Amino acid sequence: MGIIPDGNRRWARRAGLPKEDGYAHGLAPGSLLLHLARDAGIQEITYYGFTTDNCRRPPEQVKAFSEACVEAVGIIASEPVSLLVVGDKDSPTFPKELLPYTTRTDLNGGGIRVNFLVDYGWEWDLAGLKAPGNNRKKICDELRSCDISRVDLVIRWGGMRRLSGFLPVQSVYADFFVVDRMWPDLQADDFFQALRWYQKQDVTLGG
């Protein structure tokens, strides 16, 4: 399962707050969603933290979403999870506090696989691929996100209908569910509606 937690800035603007204040309000929804996914038997979940393109935003916003990602990973790390942070750790905007998690680590006895994309870019992810002609397994092995499994379902909050570069290889056959509600306003039923919808899809993986 892939999670695109969009709408933080729009939520803040509607609440009469500076745009950068919206990111901190996305922490509780992320924690709730992790518990819901684990209870539902989801084996792996990937959160979209921030992208290399996001780093072109005003400095106060970059600082705010970077700090929110560090805090979010800290919350996840307190749970029984198998945690991996994926992103360009050589970038100056990659939070150094997250470097210990760039190798998958079982925490608190291990559990659901949780991936967190930080300073992630699809071009960066694909940069390790070699010339065409490799078989599919080899291509997947060469991805910088190679330790993230194929995604069955992507859920995006905030109403936008786009992947925004989210794991293009792993999401190639993913079904896509959009929640119009902003991410900070997440409700548990958003998750359950997405699961019910997915269970009705004809999943063929191209076959």
pLDDT in tens, 149-189: 999 999 999 999 999 999 999 999 999 999 999 999 999 99
pLDDT in tens, 63-98: 999 999 999 999 999 999 999 999 999 999 999 999
Residue 205 belongs to some domain of the structure: no
Token pair belonging to 182: 């902003």
Q: What does the alpha-carbon distance between residue 139 and residue 151 come to, in Å, rounded to a whole number? A: 16
Q: How many residues in the chain?
A: 207
Task: Classify residue 59: in a domain, yes or no.
Answer: yes
Task: Give the domain extent around 84.
Answer: 2-199
Compute the mean pLDDT over every residue in the chain, rounded to the nearest whole number.
Answer: 94
pLDDT tens digit string along 110-135? 999 999 999 999 999 998 776 555 55
Q: Say how many domains are in the chain.
A: 1
CATH number of the domain that residue 124 is part of: 3.40.1180.10
pLDDT tier, 203 (very low <50, low <70, confident <90, very high otherwise): confident
Q: Is the dihedral of CA 201, 162, 121, 116 positive or negative?
A: negative
